[in-house]
Amino acid sequence: MNARVTFAKKIGDILRNSKDIDILLIEGSVALGYDDKSSDVDLIAFCTKIPDTKELSRLLGMNKIELHSRHPGSQMYFNLDYSGSINFVNISFLSDKINKYPDVDSDEYHHLTRFLLRTKLVFDKTSKFKEWQKKVSVLPKNLKRDILLQNYDNLAHFFLTDKAIDNSLNREDIVHINHIFTTQTKNFLSMIYALNGLMLVHIKWAYKDLDELKIKPPKFSKNMHEIVLKGNSKKDVLTKIKIFQEWLRWAKSYVDKFNSQK
């Protein structure tokens, strides 16, 4: 068994004894099977009561535990020495969104995907985790449509009608040019994930999904590498603009289909 998964299960054996912790999950690279020697072990604990630093130290028998961030009423985030982190989340934060599904907004479904579909289960005292996974596994149609149309409009503004990139090229404003390409790359990826019935959650690991996505433009992986690796010379920028324009022409038929369903 993967040493990081073994470590997570060891933590799980300890936290399982807490009456306040209902579900423990692994997230990030370890859950997705993408971990390497530099990967941390990131855990999510759904609980009825969030432990403080002193209580968590006592539970785990670790001294080097510190509060990283706090979100009142929903979650805390602790560092686990050198081995990773635990994100404590009030279980009502999750159940409220599950009960709303499919009438959820983009942020709510992002949380559902992150917590239920991009994780690995360590333990579940509620016996509801698999049922919840199945319930929210499909991206709601209205959300799919909104993600596609809103991002298409944004991309079309920059690459088909607006002169912002041309102006930044003339000014040699590489900061703004980089910002546009970084932002719009994420927007186009969000469109592709939505067309495949998915929500883009971890941009960090999106490159691992490129070959697996079934609905995508021709030579998508190759062109994505071009977008990311080319520089900011005028020639490179024009090449990247051309790729985005080709992607938008490809996406237009899907946009027209969803527009016709209004």
pLDDT per position as a tens digit, 80-92: 655 678 888 999 9
Residue 148, CB-side half-sphere exposure with 13 Å CA sphere: 27
Closest CA to 251 of 200, 177, 196: 196
Band the pLDDT of 231: cuts 50, 70, 90.
confident
DSSP 148: H
Q: What is the pLDDT confidence band of residue 220, given thresholds at 50, 70 and 90?
A: very high
Task: Give the pLDDT score at 258.
Answer: 87
Quote the percentage of the chain above a pLDDT of 90. 57
pLDDT at position 1 over 80? no
Average pLDDT estimate for 156-180: 88
CA angle in degrees (0–180, nearest 5) for 179-259-151 = 10
DSSP 20-85: TEEEEEEEHHHHHT---TT--EEEEEEESS---HHHHHHHHT-S-EEEEEEETTTEEEEEETTTEE
* CB-CB neighbours of 216 under 10 Å: 22
- 14 by Cβ neighbours in 10 Å (0-12 / 13-18 / 19+) ranks as middle
So what's the pLDDT on residue 165?
A: 86
Q: Bigger pLDDT: 62 or 178?
A: 178
Confidence of residue 69 (pLDDT cuts 50, 70, 90): low
> Tens digit of pLDDT for each residue in 105-157?
999 999 999 999 999 999 999 999 999 999 999 999 999 999 999 999 999 99
Residue 166 — very low, low, confident or very high, per pLDDT cuts 50/70/90?
Answer: confident
Instruction: Report whether pLDDT(57) > 70.
Output: yes
Average pLDDT in the chain: 88
Predicted local confidence at residue 40, as pLDDT: 84
Residue 18 has pLDDT above 80, yes or no: yes
Residue 235 pLDDT exceeds 70: yes
**Cα radius of gyration (the chain):** 21
The model's confidence at residue 73, banded by pLDDT at 50, 70 and 90, is: low
For residue 186, which of 167, 207, 169 has the smallest C-alpha distance?
207
